[in-house]
Chains A and B, each alone.
Chain A
C-alpha cells in the first residue's frame, strides 16, 4: 500500500462545481503539502501545513482552500472549479525532524474541469 494516498485519482467535473481532493498518509509525518503540476511549468505549491493548527498559503493559493482534519489527512478544495484549474495535483509529506526537507509524494489526482 502507498504511504501517501490520494483520492480520487481521476475526476472530470464542470465549471462551477465544488471539488474536494483528499490525501491521507501513514508515514507519521507532520508536514503536508499540495502541489499542482502543469505541463512545462513544473510543480507549484498551493498550500502547506506544518501541523493540524498551522496552514500556510503557497505561491498559487487563489481559488483553493485546504483543511487539515488530522495529522494524517490534508484535503484540498476547489469551491467553484474553473477550466484553468485542470491539472495534475500532488499531495506530499515531509518529516519535521529531518532538516533536509525531502518530500514524499502521493500518486496524483488528475482533475479535468470542463
Chain B
C-alpha cells in the first residue's frame, strides 16, 4: 500500500526564515502529488499539486515544491515565511493506477509555527 512520510512533525521558525518541509512516498509508479494546508480551525485547502511536466511547481502564497522522482520526494519550500503561514501542512499522494482516483494517501502532517 502507498505510504507518505513527512519528516518533521513540528517546526518553529521566525518570520522571514526560509522553509523546507520534507515529504517522501513509497509508490514507484505514476503518482500525483499534493500539498494541502490547514489553517487553525479551518478545512484543508490545496497549496499546490504536481501531476506532470515541470517538476518544480509553484502554488499559492509563495510556496513551491520540487518533485524528485529518483528520491520519491516532493518537498515544500518557501523562501521567506510570514506569521500567517502558521498552519498544519499535509503532503498527499494519489497513486494513479488507471482505474481512477480512490482517494489520496496523506502524511501525518507538519505543524508549522511562525514566531513574530
Contact = CB atoms under 8 A, between A and B. Distances in A.
Interface residues of B, number: 25
Nearest to A6: B43
A48 interface: yes
Given A43-B90, A99-B96, A90 B44 contact: yes
A48 B51 contact: no
Interface residue tally of chain A, by bracket? 20 to 34
B113 interface: no
Interface string B7-44: 00100000000000000000000001010100000111
A31 to B, nearest CB: 6
Given A42-B108, A48-B103, A101 B94 contact: yes
Interface of A: 31, 33, 35, 40-45, 48, 50, 56, 58, 90, 94, 96, 99-103, 105-108
